[in-house]
Chain A
Amino acid sequence: MQVNEKKPLIVAFCCNWCSYAGADLAGNNRLAYPADVKIIRVPCSCRVNPMFILRAFQRGADGVIICGCHPGDCHYTSGNYFTRRRMAMLFSMLDYLGIEKERTRVEWVSAAEGAKFAATMNDFAEKVAALGENKRLEDLRCKK
């Protein structure tokens, strides 16, 4: 293990009804994933404002993942459909600006999918770690 290596920082927005419960289930089943992942509970994935995501990146997050109920299963009927459109557009824009697309992800995780939650986080953390520190959003404007 290398010392002094900055550990990646991942912010996970989880909807209260499915994904947060899925994360709890992962915990109940003791399914490990990196401690780099920090979860923020929101009532629905549609509560996640792109501003929160950009804010996280700006404050040093290396990856941001949004988890919600599977499409069709939203506790609020349609919230995650809006999430899907908003995030598709936002991620596409970040990609257009040349930001690594692996730093952002939307995953649908139900309350019953503790294993999927852990697997998703492991995979995401691994991919984000492989990219190294998030520099591009930081450097989108030259510092002089």
Chain B
Amino acid sequence: MQRIGVFVCWCGSNIAGTVDVQAVSDALKNEPGVVFSTNYQYMCSQAGQNMIKDAIKEYRLTGIVVCSCSPRMHEATFRKTAQAAGLNPYMVEIANIREQCSWVHKDIPTGTEKAIILGKAAVAKVNLNAPLTPGESPVTKRALVIGGGIAGIQTALDIADAGFPVDIVETKPTIGGKMAQLDKTFPTLDCAACILTPKMVDVAQNDKIRIFSYSEVQEVKGFVGNFDVKIKKKARYVNEDICTGCGACTEKCPQKNVPNEFNLGMDNRRAIYIPFAQAVPKVATIDPNACNMLKNGKCGVCAKVCAAGAIDYKQQDQIIEEKYGAIVVATGFNPISMEKFDEFAYSQSKDVITSLEFERLTNAAGPTAGKLLRPSDLEHPHTIVFVQCVGSRCAACAEKGKEYCSKICCMYTAKHAMLVRDKYPDTEVYVFYIDVRTPGKNFDEFYRRAVEEYGVHYIKGMVGKVTPEGKKLKVQGSDLIMDEQVHIDADLVVLAAAIEPDKSARPLATMLTASMDTNDFFTEAHPKLRPVESPTAGVFLSGACQGPKDIPETVSQAGAAASKVIGLLAKDKLTGNPCIASPNELMCNGCSSCERVCPYGAITYVDKEFRMPDRTTAIRRVAQVNPAVCQGCGACTVACPSGAMDLRGFASAQIIAEVDAICK
């Protein structure tokens, strides 16, 4: 028989406001196994924890029930408390009487009644608890960073700085990500390339960092500390080790009309290309969809001009298998497609562009060499209209766009407007906005400079329609402050397109068993307290894959993720979760049902000799669970027809006891 102590927390008035805590501790005193029951203002406080420790010793408790907030909040706390008092931490059960009782039920009789029932269920469960000891598993001291934008770069640099090897996997031929495409950065207006490219070089020169560019993660197996990852290195048809990046091939390649993704298709590149001058690794890549040699064997110019002999038309995709202790997701974002936003005439006029396209138009390395010329006729635009929140902050029911705020648009639009007015004072700039959101360090000052010093016309209201008419774009919008319709004849319209997670994120999340929200942003383990960790152990989040972010925020999150990774890799061994499946060999049929539902391949079979009821011996096939691999989902326990497979900490008998206690 257990000797159980019950500790009912008031949580100030959070619980005590709707639950008669005295009545709860009194009622639970009479439950089987309970030898001590009390209540206190804040059980999680030092004094509360000491109360628990003292009671464990004084009453020789073998198990405790804490009626408090969610176990997701303080289960770990109270387990440590129990451990400190010499009790096995898994002899602790939490009755969630705050989130699932006092906060959702309004009157005291109802709340109290339910709290007592939840307490009884926890007591019933702890009566059947058994001490558990976690197993240990080794840690592979290498990290994988998926995505080579500024988030991935910063994370990799920080991890490498602590002395751990890091691999970066980037789908594009070069690292750099979106930041490499930007012109200037807010709020300081220093040029993106000037601050990014040195970091890219650092990555390339760091002997702890390997870059797998033009590569994708294909398969992830294993678990925290022990991930087995397959990386597909796509054939770039150029030997990376030999290519010097001289660019001779990219000048001679006869296939000149491939839309240049780096400039968002606003100019063309060759079939063999280096995305931009500062690319890392600076090696050429052949686009197999454009290269005549690869398509029909007719060309071979690049191989002829390559002095290094780096061209290899027969190159194959290569699969790299590597073990990692931690994985950082840094897959970033993309602007959403403007297809569904035809009211802004994006598909009808070349002069309606997205903000990212505008970045390229103003970038010295862009298609216009930094001169602000409109794409249709390469003339200098005299009136520019910026439209904010295109696809952001849409109604939940809207068929297009996103419900969330894309966060970065207010600031980059202010930057664009300011830069235009600075360089071309003859150009009138209008910004249509819903709200201007500038809550960052020096952000609001920056925006106000755009309005006050640079004379940008900010109009509160949305643009209803853009109609191309001759060389002009007729912009029709509303000014909510003046309460009037606004008509502007613009030369260029720039849309602040909402940003969304990269398309690769969803399949990656499935591979990593990491959870995502409805918008495909990765979910953090806790929105406030564990913002850079995924709920899946060993998987960390860096940058915009977790939510829209600007560069300063991305870099700080990247560093935070790195520090979490370093914390993990610094350990030699990880203590596992002891709440895992375990088979009762005497009852096991060896039927393989459990093995078939195990997502981790944790179950294997052995032939064992058994003494049978008729005193003979027989060899039977029975299941074995690898404690380092089992994650404790319990799928096997239900697949098992005989009930031989049970889950420690969530045993069938325990759950049935809870059911019985609730349904009494």
Give chain A's interface residues, CB within 8 Å of chain B. 9, 11, 16-18, 20-21, 23-28, 30-33, 35, 38-44, 46-52, 55-56, 59-61, 69, 72-79, 82, 86, 110-112, 118
Contacts of B100 in A (CB 8 A): 23-24, 27, 39
Contacts of A38 in B (CB 8 A): 114, 117-118, 121, 662
Given A35-B110, A35-B113, verify A110-B637 contact (CB < 8 Å): no
B631 on the interface (CB 8 Å rule)? yes
B365 on the interface (CB 8 Å rule)? no
Instruction: Give a binary string over B339-375; 1 marks a CB under 8 Å from any A CB, 0 the rest.
Output: 0000000000000000000000000000000000000
Contacts of A9 in B (CB 8 A): 662-663
B13 on the interface (CB 8 Å rule)? no
CA distance A41 to B94 in the complex (A): 10
**Of the residues B98, B118, B599, B664, contact of A78 by C-beta under 8 Å:** B599
CA distance A69 to B510 in the complex (A): 13
B650 to chain A, nearest CB (A): 6
Instruction: Give a binary string over B56-73; 1 marks a CB under 8 Å from any A CB, 0 the rest.
Output: 000000000000001111
B71 to chain A, nearest CB (A): 7
Contact A82 B111 (CB under 8 A): no
Contact B634 A30 (CB under 8 A): no
Contact B513 A40 (CB under 8 A): no
B33 to chain A, nearest CB (A): 19
Contact A111 B599 (CB under 8 A): no
CA distance A142 to B493 in the complex (A): 77
Contacts of A39 in B (CB 8 A): 96, 100
Contacts of A47 in B (CB 8 A): 633-635, 637-638, 647, 650, 655
B247 on the interface (CB 8 Å rule)? no
B662 closest partner in A (C-beta): A38
**Of the residues A42, A59, A86, contact of B634 by C-beta under 8 Å:** A42
Contact B104 A77 (CB under 8 A): no
Q: Which of A32, A50, A79, A110 has the most CB of B within 10 A?
A: A79
Contact A20 B103 (CB under 8 A): no
CA distance A112 to B521 in the complex (A): 12
Contact A82 B515 (CB under 8 A): no
Contact B635 A32 (CB under 8 A): no
Contacts of A56 in B (CB 8 A): 659, 662-663
CA distance A16 to B536 in the complex (A): 13
B515 closest partner in A (C-beta): A73
**Of the residues B70, B635, B663, contact of A46 by C-beta under 8 Å:** B635
A86 closest partner in B (C-beta): B638
**Of the residues B96, B536, B647, B656, contact of A52 by C-beta under 8 Å:** B656
CA distance A111 to B147 in the complex (A): 26
B639 closest partner in A (C-beta): A82
A29 to chain B, nearest CB (A): 8
B581 to chain A, nearest CB (A): 10
Contacts of B597 in A (CB 8 A): 46, 78, 82
List 4 A-B pairs, minimum CB-CB distance, nearest first: A27-B99, A47-B634, A59-B663, A76-B633
B658 closest partner in A (C-beta): A40
Contacts of A24 in B (CB 8 A): 70, 72-73, 96, 99-100
B516 on the interface (CB 8 Å rule)? yes
CA distance A43 to B111 in the complex (A): 26
CA distance A131 to B631 in the complex (A): 39
Instruction: Give a binary string over B514-556; 1 marks a CB under 8 Å from any A CB, 0 the rest.
Output: 0111100001000000000001100000000000000000000
Contact B638 A48 (CB under 8 A): yes
CA distance A27 to B293 in the complex (A): 63
Contact B647 A43 (CB under 8 A): yes
Contact A112 B104 (CB under 8 A): no
B487 on the interface (CB 8 Å rule)? no
Contact A76 B631 (CB under 8 A): yes
Given A42-B650, A43-B579, A110-B517, verify A27-B659 contact (CB < 8 Å): no
B106 on the interface (CB 8 Å rule)? yes
Contact B635 A76 (CB under 8 A): yes
Contact B99 A23 (CB under 8 A): yes
B83 on the interface (CB 8 Å rule)? no
Instruction: Give a binary string over B546-582; 1 marks a CB under 8 Å from any A CB, 0 the rest.
Output: 0000000000000000000000000000000001000
B660 on the interface (CB 8 Å rule)? yes
CA distance A20 to B69 in the complex (A): 13
Contact B104 A32 (CB under 8 A): yes
B122 to chain A, nearest CB (A): 10
Contact B656 A75 (CB under 8 A): no
B501 on the interface (CB 8 Å rule)? no
B391 on the interface (CB 8 Å rule)? no
**Of the residues A20, A30, A46, A75, contact of B513 by C-beta under 8 Å:** A75
A65 to chain B, nearest CB (A): 13
A50 closest partner in B (C-beta): B638
Contact B523 A112 (CB under 8 A): yes
Contacts of A18 in B (CB 8 A): 515
B304 to chain A, nearest CB (A): 50
Contact A28 B103 (CB under 8 A): yes
Can you report 26 A-B residue pairs in the complex whose CB atoms are below 8 A from each other? A9-B662, A11-B662, A21-B72, A27-B99, A27-B101, A27-B104, A32-B106, A38-B117, A38-B118, A43-B633, A44-B634, A46-B635, A48-B638, A52-B656, A56-B659, A75-B515, A75-B536, A76-B599, A76-B633, A77-B513, A82-B597, A82-B638, A82-B639, A110-B515, A110-B517, A111-B535
Given A11-B662, A60-B663, verify A46-B517 contact (CB < 8 Å): no
CA distance A16 to B638 in the complex (A): 17
B171 to chain A, nearest CB (A): 22
**Of the residues A21, A32, A49, contact of B652 by C-beta under 8 Å:** A49
**Of the residues A46, A110, A111, contact of B633 by C-beta under 8 Å:** A46
A59 to chain B, nearest CB (A): 3
**Of the residues A40, A61, A118, contact of B655 by C-beta under 8 Å:** A40
Contact B104 A26 (CB under 8 A): yes
CA distance A18 to B47 in the complex (A): 32
CA distance A42 to B637 in the complex (A): 12
Contacts of A61 in B (CB 8 A): 659, 662-663
B400 on the interface (CB 8 Å rule)? no
Within 8 A of A (CB), among B369-413: none
Contact A40 B121 (CB under 8 A): yes
Contacts of B652 in A (CB 8 A): 49, 51-52
CA distance A73 to B634 in the complex (A): 16
Contact A30 B662 (CB under 8 A): no
B99 closest partner in A (C-beta): A27
A82 to chain B, nearest CB (A): 5
